Amino acid sequence: MSASRPVIVTCAVTGAIHTPSMSPHLPITPGQIAAEAIAAARAGAAIVHLHARDPVDGRPTGDPALFREFLPEIRAACDVVINITTGGGQNMSVEDRIACALACRPEMCSLNLGSMNFGLFPALSRHARFEHSWERPYLEASRGFIFRNTFADIEHILRSLGEQGTRFELECYDVGHLYTLAHFLDRGLLAPPLLVQFIFGILGGIGAEPENLLHMRALAHRLFGNDVEWSVLAAGRHQLGLATMGALCGGNVRVGLEDSLYLGKGTLAKSNREQVEKIRHVLEQLSMELASPADARRRLALKGAGNVGF
């Protein structure tokens, strides 16, 4: 892939990692999630990656009814590619996690390529007070939590969502996940082109070092050849630096408040739009263009916004 190819920017709007007490700017209600996604799209994001939260206390939820409160609004306001999580949150079963994608039949959804430790508990030392009673136990529980994505789970998701034409943001938190992806590709349960999301800096996954990005990139091209579109997601303070490096190496990028609450050192991002605008500025200063939603649909062979269930 040429570094001059337009960069697909994904914005992950709210996620299930951060809790409301960590930032007053984290979108919680359906209205806030819709507004943030639309603003991110207008700022240059070609794809928005979406979770839902309980509008009362902000806890992650997989309830399709809550997703349906913001999905149609986003679709009506802009042509952004809508990507629905199947990762959910640590309080959800696999069936809970995929319920919305099954019901809403999006163009894209995420797919995690392996079971892993997923440590959120270090945030406890950085935040003294929590507004809601669920937040501290939720973070503490990640000491003993295994993020379940077995071979059977992955196959179930590939078959059930693939049958409705949904394609995948293939989330790889470590080197072994790329080999798992190759296994399912060899079995014919996936077809190129692939969007492989390299994820760096989650406690339990691969670290956020530049050498790791280069290794993941080289391995993805060795395993998948030219049939891979790869993207960089780096958690927290690593977001902008590794995203920029990834783009310079010919990849795509992901930003958003799911992955980092900050715009810069010590400065909370007031919106997802600010993060999209910042990476856009960096890319444009490096003489790179941003891909449009139409570009993303063509390059990822998506079924189109007219073929979804919302």
pLDDT tens column, 72-82: 999 999 999 99
The mean per-residue pLDDT over the stretch 36-58 comes to 98
Beta-carbon contacts of 93 under 8 Å, excluding residues fewer than 6 positions away, are none
* Sign of the dihedral defined by the CA atoms of residues 128, 130, 134, 139, in that order: negative
For helices 151-162 and 94-104, angle between their N-to-C axes, nearest 10 degrees: 10
Two structure tokens written together for 9? 């920017």
Residues 18-40: tens digit of each pLDDT: 999 999 999 999 999 999 999 99
The mean per-residue pLDDT over the stretch 247-266 comes to 97
Number of helices (H) and strands (E), helices first, in the chain? 11, 14
Query: What are the structural domains of the chain?
Result: 9-302 (3.20.20.70)
Question: What pLDDT is attached to residue 128?
Answer: 87
Using CA atoms, how far apart are residues 70 and 310, in angstroms rounded to an integer? 10
The mean per-residue pLDDT over the stretch 266-282 comes to 98
Residues 259-271: tens digit of each pLDDT: 999 999 999 999 9
Closest by CA position to 85, among listed 169, 18, 188, 21: 169
Question: What pLDDT is attached to residue 24?
Answer: 97
pLDDT bin (cut points 50, 70, 90) of residue 1 is very low
Using CA atoms, how far apart are residues 145 and 139, in angstroms rounded to an integer? 10
Buried b (16+ CB within 10 A) or exposed e, 203-216: eebbebeeebbeeb
- CA–CA distances in Å: residue 72 to residues 9, 76, 243: 21, 6, 30
H/E stretch holding 176 reads helix 175-186
What residues form DSSP beta bridges with 232?
Answer: 198, 253
The mean per-residue pLDDT over the stretch 54-65 comes to 97
Query: What is the pTM assigned to this prediction?
Result: 0.96
Reply yes or no on whether the pLDDT at 177 is more than 70: yes
Reply yes or no on whether the pLDDT at 4 is more than 80: no
The mean per-residue pLDDT over the stretch 127-139 comes to 96
Work out the percent of the chain whose per-residue pLDDT is above 70. 99
